[in-house]
Structure 1
């Protein structure tokens, strides 16, 4: 089963989400890959964090877009989770890509370009991924489908994943129109017939965010490529 799991924000049940500790744990535990979120700092760096604000997962306050990399790196991104992670820092995307290196490992990068527009985000992410030689092991997803179109305009070879919540009628048609590699639906909307139709149309299905192994197994049996899942070992 592990070869089908993309750890949601890393091994986020036993390490602080979207940190190097959580990502390293996914590598060590032999999972298929990781899912992470990218926003952009005031000075144009690719910041790996889910929320638009740093308040929930650090000891700081404010919007990522209003902070420099130096200011972000001065934050504690681990103490909120557990004392043993005190001092853990928010990573930049390049640090995560370097960790992955040439391993047979999938990285799903979600571009957080919906609530806040980050000019140049798509170009910068693609540049970082290509520089590390990881384009063929990276899936770039977003709820902002204009970002996905922009990615394909910049790089036809990029693999894009269409994130969505609501049940779509004939989602494979929508995915094909976007020249997507995969559809990333909210998991309750996934049926076996839907997965079968997508696969026949050349689209992979990667549901999010599954909370338990029983549901994950059912979806894997349907034929999904990966499952984005909250993952972590019980200590």
Structure 2
């Protein structure tokens, strides 16, 4: 059966931007992704202690900045003083953690499409979604729902997003392909599911092919594996390497 009209039609999502080449989720990572001709970027959004939005994957600052501690327990002003590039190499020193406003501004200016993943703090799911939707309503183009979708592991986040911005599609992040993807999609109100590559074997691909849900697999950095997945029924792969596929666009043989 497979998804008849997938939202992401290029087969590739740049995972946290060009994260193989530039520090993840930075504005520089966006710019390089666009230069390579990739159309879709995946990124992560979190709240700070003072209820501002920043693009950070981890719950803590330790791995990708010169700081330490939880993002949710640090004010934006403190985060903006940190170096978000040196961890990857000295040539990237001085790069900063972008706010969501800055990130959206660059995405729109470059004509890119966005998968926005909610990185919630348990118990504050609705607060995160409301802050994100408030900024999207202000800075995202009114005619842009087809260039945006939400994702997350939290069904609570996705339910709140369906209330706030019902025209924006939603993706449920999972470890493995569920036994009945279509039933789970109906229960959760999503049209897309993302699963982990390590759990996507031939049996999983068979379930994907039998489903009408749009499927993505993360994180895939081997070109042959990416093509095998796309040939096997997956609609999109998430990759750290924007040049993973020839011309950054997959065309089935």
| Mapped pair 1:196 → 2:206 | no
1:98 Cα deviation after fit: 0.9
Structure 1 residues 170, 119: closer, same or farther in 2, change over 3 A?
A: closer
Identify the match of residue 149 of structure 1 among 139, 150, 159.
159
Q: How does 1:102-113 map to 2 (within 5 A)?
A: 104-113=111-120
- The answer to whether the Cα contact below 8 Å between 2:44 and 2:55 also exists between their aligned partners in 1 is yes
In structure 2, runs of 5+ residues without a counterpart are: 1-8, 245-253
Cα shift readout 1:31-65 (whole Å, capped 9, x = no counterpart): 13111111101111111001111011111111111
Quick one: distance in 1 between partners of 2:65 and 2:48?
A: 15
Segments ≥4 residues shifted beyond 4 Å: none
- Flag the structure with more relative contact order, 1 or 2, with Cα contacts below 8 A and sequence separation at least 6: 2
Cα shift readout 1:168-220 (whole Å, capped 9, x = no counterpart): 21122101222212011112444443232223xxx211111112111111122
Q: Specify the alignment match of 2:221 in structure 1.
A: 211
- The answer to whether the Cα contact below 8 Å between 2:152 and 2:173 also exists between their aligned partners in 1 is yes
Q: Specify the alignment match of 1:44 in structure 2.
A: 51
| Count of residue correspondences | 230
In structure 1, runs of 5+ residues without a counterpart are: none
Q: How does 1:1-235 map to 2 (within 5 A)?
A: 3-101=10-108, 104-113=111-120, 117-131=124-138, 132-133=140-141, 134-190=144-200, 191-199=204-212, 203-231=213-241
Over the residues paired in the alignment, what is the CA RMSD in angstroms? 2.1
- The answer to whether the Cα contact below 8 Å between 1:36 and 1:48 also exists between their aligned partners in 2 is yes
1:102 Cα deviation after fit: 5.9
Cα shift readout 1:125-163 (whole Å, capped 9, x = no counterpart): 122223221432111111111111111122221211000
Quick one: distance in 1 between partners of 2:222 and 2:121?
A: 28
Structure 1 residues 119, 183: closer, same or farther in 2, change over 3 A?
A: closer
1:111 Cα deviation after fit: 0.5
1:82 Cα deviation after fit: 1.2
Quick one: distance in 2 between partners of 1:24 and 1:116?
A: 34
Quick one: distance in 2 between partners of 1:114 and 1:166?
A: 23
